[in-house]
Amino acid sequence: MTKAIASDWGATWNPFGIFWLAIAVVGAALFFLPGLMVLGEAWQLAEYSHGPLIPLLSSFLLLRQLKDVPVNPGPISDRWPGLVVVGLSLLLGLLALLSHIGDVSAYAMIVWVYGMLLVSFGWKNGKQLWPPVLHLCFMLPLPGLIYYKATTTLQFISSDIGVWALQMMGTPVFLEGNIIDLGVYKLHVAEACSGLRYLFPIMSFSYIFAVLYRGPTWHKAVLLLSAVPIAVLMNSFRIALVGELVNAWGIEAAEGFGHLMEGWVVFLGCIGILFGLAMLMLRLQPAPRMSLSEALDLDLNGIMPELARVRFTRASPAMIAAATLCVVLAAAWWLAPPRDLPATDRQPYSAMPREIGEWEVVRQIPRLDENTERVLGADDYIGLSYARPDVAAPVEFFSAWYHDQTKGGIHSPEVCLPGGGWEMHSIRTVDLAPQLGTEASFNVNRAVIIKGQSQLLVYYWFDQSGRRIASDYMAKAMLVVNGIAEGRTDGALVRLTTPILPREDEATAEARLIEFLRPAKEVLPRFVDGRL
């Protein structure tokens, strides 16, 4: 088949088909430009620096799979399902443009690629080409909310295992929150777990490995799912090794080795374990057994001639319709006048009153350090401690406001507080409307956190255009809704904290938060929302 394609380039040449395919690609590139820009920004980060390689590897998987798809230069009758998929991708892209969320545009591009394959090859042959399309997902940045929750969890698991290994070897070490205390050297979790930045390329590699693997299906599943635990274990090994170097040779040796180990050494070690796992499963496989070289389909013969299939692209009604949709929507968006953002009279936190009801500021919490500020990513934030003469303990108020949440956005305290060494003892959503005497619901997250002998009661919620939302996932959903309906991308996090004193119960501490929140709820809107 491939020899026929390579030796007969001039036959059934369809210049109009290639023309309409090119029009569709150019129109889609203009329409999905915000998604392309998001990818360009994400690929500059260490976690996603492998991104530019993903389209190349996906193209290799596609060409390899096309060897098993018969050539059909004639008319294809089942192209229309592909047009439906293209239409869905363009609708998703339009929602991304209206909400100003470039990530959604990047996700829509993947759907568009699959739709165009269905348009080109028809439903019967095109639907089986999903593996290379799915692999493109590894080039996409994870939504910030999922990224921080996932990596924070994996970081703490990595650190726990690494510290346990050090303790088993007799090395004195203590883990508190995001700090690994080695006595003469303190290693932050973010630094200790930077090896996890290779989790995403390892997952991409394990996916390709599973696709090329010709063993049983359950082998493929194990190889694919093993990427995460392998990366975590390798990073735990790195942490333990750094700790041993500090104990034996001092800080300088650890710093140099730690920098080396956070790079290709971790990645190559994970790949080696992946190969070893495949070899082990093959050895345990009942007869007839295969060697690893036999189990991996690495035959590259006839792949490049599959590129010649582009000449069979036909100017079918579905292809012309797909190209027209892309160009029309791209032109409509770029030629349409920009939407005016709604006016706002939000006041800066520096104008926050020093007296709220009977509560007065007794302390202003110092500004965060430069690195913490960068991670927080807020455009405005403040921390104040309010007290009342007749109340046993103060209430700490913290709030961060974001002008554009599409560039990272709010970090949930559920992720950040454990990084400071606090254990999340309990957390649930409560409606404070009955206690506050409000008609509308007032949903907040109520958490009890513990560090050593200290206990804190925390209320926190997200403000999205005046709506108080407890769920961080719902807050992201409302960001999309507000972006589409109003063009707004701003939002805020509000957090109230008070200690649970040694001789009081949670109800007493909670009463303090309620007493402060009663007058504060009237003050907060002009700082966290401020709509005219």
Phi and psi, residue 397, nearest 5°: -105, 130
- pLDDT confidence bin for 11, thresholds 50/70/90: very low
Q: What is the mean pLDDT of residues 147-157?
A: 74
Q: How high is the pLDDT of residue 9?
A: 42
- Which token pair is 181? 């205390």
What is the share, in percent, of the chain residues with pLDDT greater than 90?
A: 33
Least confident of 173-187, 221-235, 248-262, 369-383: 248-262
Q: How high is the pLDDT of residue 421?
A: 67
Q: Report the range out of 8-12, 258-262, 351-355, 464-468 with the highest average pLDDT.
A: 351-355
Q: What is the mean pLDDT of residues 8-25?
A: 76
Phi and psi, residue 194, nearest 5°: -65, -20
Query: Does pLDDT of 48 surpass 80?
Result: yes
Q: How high is the pLDDT of residue 250?
A: 62
Q: How high is the pLDDT of residue 491?
A: 86
How far is the C-alpha of 526 from the C-alpha of 524, rounded, in Å? 6
Q: How high is the pLDDT of residue 500?
A: 94
Crossing angle (nearest 10°) for helices 33-42 and 80-99 = 70
If you search the block for the tokens 């606090």, which residue do you land on? 422
Least confident of 13-22, 23-32, 428-437, 451-460: 13-22
Q: How high is the pLDDT of residue 444?
A: 93
Strand 186-188: give its sheet, edge to edge. 174-176, 179-181, 186-188
- pLDDT confidence bin for 82, thresholds 50/70/90: very high
501-506 LR contacts (CB < 8 Å, sep 24+): 501/392, 501/393, 502/453, 504/392, 506/448, 506/457
Query: Does pLDDT of 5 surpass 90?
Result: no
How far is the C-alpha of 163 from the C-alpha of 169, rounded, in Å? 10
Computed from CA positions of residues 141, 142, 143, 144, in that sequence, does the dihedral angle turn out positive or negative?
A: negative
Q: How high is the pLDDT of residue 54?
A: 93
347-354 LR contacts (CB < 8 Å, sep 24+): 347/526, 347/527, 347/530, 348/380, 348/527, 349/380, 349/381, 349/382, 349/399, 349/401, 349/527, 350/382, 351/527, 352/382, 352/384, 352/523, 352/527, 353/523
Q: Which residue has the higher pLDDT, 337 or 148?
A: 337
How far is the C-alpha of 336 from the C-alpha of 327, rounded, in Å? 14
- pLDDT confidence bin for 515, thresholds 50/70/90: very high
Query: Does pLDDT of 59 surpass 70?
Result: yes
- Which token pair is 152? 């924070």
Question: What burial class does residue 263 get, using C-beta atoms within 10 Å of its C-beta: 0-12 exposed, 13-18 middle, 19+ buried?
Answer: middle
Q: Report the range out of 152-166, 252-266, 498-512 with the highest average pLDDT.
A: 498-512
If you search the block for the tokens 């409307």, which residue do you land on? 433
Give pTM, 2 decimals: 0.79
Q: What is the mean pLDDT of residues 148-159?
A: 74
- pLDDT confidence bin for 3, thresholds 50/70/90: very low
- pLDDT confidence bin for 191, thresholds 50/70/90: very low
Q: What is the mean pLDDT of residues 197-201?
A: 79
Query: Does pLDDT of 429 surpass 70?
Result: yes
Query: What is the average pLDDT score of the chain?
Result: 82
- pLDDT confidence bin for 408, thresholds 50/70/90: low
- Which token pair is 248? 């034996």
Q: What is the mean pLDDT of residues 22-39?
A: 94
CA atoms within 13 A on the CB side of 71: 20
Q: How high is the pLDDT of residue 192?
A: 42
Query: Does pLDDT of 262 surpass 70?
Result: no
Least confident of 151-165, 208-222, 494-508: 151-165
| β-pair partners for 450 | 423, 455
- Which token pair is 304? 């490049």
CB 423 within 8 A of CB 453: no
Q: Which residue has the higher pLDDT, 82 or 474?
A: 82
How far is the C-alpha of 241 from the C-alpha of 220, rounded, in Å? 31
- pLDDT confidence bin for 464, thresholds 50/70/90: confident
If you search the block for the tokens 């299939």, which residue do you land on? 309
Query: Does pLDDT of 177 surpass 60?
Result: no
| β-pair partners for 359 | 356
What is the share, in percent, of the chain residues with pLDDT greater than 70?
A: 85
